[in-house]
Amino acid sequence: MSEYFQKHSIRTFPAGTVIFKEGDLGFSMFIIQRGQVEITTKVDGQTIILAVLGEGEIFGEMALLGDSHRSASVTAVRNTMCLEINKLLFNKQMESVAPWMKAFFRILVERLKDANKKRRTLTPKDLSRQVVYLVSDFLERVEENKSGQRQIPWLKTVEDIVFLLNLPKEQVEKVMNQLTITELAQSKIVFGNQRVLVSDKMSDLRNFSKFLKKRHFEKMGTSLPEEYVGCSEEEMIFLDFLKELMKNQANATDLHLSDLEVGCQEKFQQPLTIFEHQFKELTDMGILHPRVDSTGDKYYIVDREQMNKRLEKANRISSYKNLENRLG
């Protein structure tokens, strides 16, 4: 490549500059001489960081290998200098390439396109699930110390996850930092000024990571196992209503229909029929058992143990979802 060409193909981009946007027409690729850029795409309205590239790395190459529209957006993270290679020069250089090599390039391009399509199906929340699952798995592989804690080296864990998931280091660290401000893990500095990730709630973290894995496969079309399905908001309201009524009558488990109707009207200013669906569901689950007394009045026997299990599960799943949202 001539000195003249290099001189006139150098582009500089101040930090924060959008070099090109997803969907733009593309006629060139860039080789980073100095600085750093961030590659992003949009999935369901969310911005996903695909990669952070630095000196010596290339971006925009798909525009020269068959795609006329940009498949992602690129933004300069720092002041960046790039060598721009346009389509004219690229095609001229390709004229001297053997036919079998051109065919090889075409195969690579198609595989790269397929990989990009699969990557774009993952949102930031999906990637966070994968990071947490790997952190949990790494912790499982180490022994507990005398204090009942497990710990793994921070830097090595970040590097391993970056390698396994092909994610930017910054994105992995962000999720791990978020995890350490939950009750499931902490970050500590140990001997030698080494940062470690510590958990003394391995059982809770293990169950949470299993939940995240099942949620990931749910998105791929697999039904969520019953143990990970929570209650609807309406069911939670109804269960709390039943608990309140039982408490008001000295924790007796028999609830007369007339008391239920009066209680519903007082609490919700609505007839009991608003919970018709919940009555049927809880009866099918064996939590409510309809009965008729000697006078012909209808009442329900509440299986307190089954109801408490249902509430415990619902609260657990709700806490998992809240944790998941906090992780991003």
Could you read off the pLDDT of 220-277 as tens digits, one per residue? Answer: 778 888 888 888 889 999 999 999 999 888 888 899 999 999 999 999 999 999 999 9
Q: How many domains does the chain have?
A: 3
Per-residue burial over 22-39, b = 16 or more CB atoms within 10 Å of its CB, e = otherwise:
eeeebebbbbbeebbbbb
- At 16 the pLDDT is 94
All residues at 6 or more sequence positions from 237 whose CB lies less than 8 Å from its CB, including other chains: none
Question: CATH number for the domain including 184?
Answer: 2.60.120.10
- The residues facing 32 across adjacent strands are 82
Question: CATH number for the domain including 307?
Answer: 1.10.10.10
Q: Report yes or no on 201 lying in a domain.
A: yes
Please check whether residues 20 and 91 belong to one and the same domain: yes
Please check whether residues 253 and 272 belong to one and the same domain: yes
- At 202 the pLDDT is 95
Q: Report yes or no on 115 lying in a domain.
A: no
- At 119 the pLDDT is 56
Please check whether residues 274 and 196 belong to one and the same domain: no
- Prediction pTM value: 0.62
Please check whether residues 311 and 272 belong to one and the same domain: yes
Range of the domain at 160: 124-224
Mean pLDDT, residues 65-87 taken together: 87
From the list 130, 118, 137, 30, the residue with the least C-alpha distance to 74 is: 30
Q: Report yes or no on 109 lying in a domain.
A: no
Q: Report yes or no on 145 lying in a domain.
A: yes
Boundary residue ending a domain (97, 114, 136): 97
Please check whether residues 184 and 144 belong to one and the same domain: yes
pLDDT at 144 over 70: yes
Q: How many CB atoms lie within 10 A of CB 240?
A: 12
φ, ψ of residue 191 to 5 degrees: the values are -50, 135
Q: Report yes or no on 113 lying in a domain.
A: no
From the list 204, 199, 203, the residue with the least C-alpha distance to 152 is: 199
Q: Report yes or no on 102 lying in a domain.
A: no
Mean pLDDT, residues 135-160 taken together: 95
For 35-44, write each residue's pLDDT tens digit: 999 998 887 6
Q: Provide the residue type at 326 as one letter.
A: R
Please check whether residues 217 and 173 belong to one and the same domain: yes
Boundary residue ending a domain (78, 97, 116): 97
Boundary residue ending a domain (167, 202, 224): 224
Please check whether residues 220 and 237 belong to one and the same domain: no
Using a 10 angstrom Cβ sphere, with 0-12 exposed, 13-18 middle and 19 or more buried, the burial of residue 116 is: middle
Q: Report yes or no on 38 lying in a domain.
A: yes
